Amino acid sequence: MISYLAQSGYTVTAVLNFSDGSTVATASNAKDWIPARGTFDVMS
């Protein structure tokens, strides 16, 4: 799990599943909550 708080006031939290390359994330601030899903590749 990764979380980041930007100066803009948004917090982004993401969970990476290395078994299948999927990710689930949320971005939020005091008023909004934005869900996201996607995939990622491991670069070596």
In a domain, 20, yes or no: yes
Q: 3-34: per-residue pLDDT in tens?
A: 999 999 999 999 999 999 999 999 999 999 99
Residue 8, domain member (yes or no): yes
7 in a structural domain? yes
Contacts of 2 (CB under 8 A, 6+ apart): 13, 14, 15, 16
How do beta strands 22-28 and 33-39 pair? antiparallel
Strand partners of residue 42: none
**Does residue 44 sit within a domain?**
no
Secondary structure of the chain: what % helix, strand, coil (to 5)?
A: 0, 55, 45
Q: In the chain, how many domains are there?
A: 1
Q: The domain containing residue 34 runs over which residues?
A: 2-39
Q: pLDDT value at position 12? A: 96
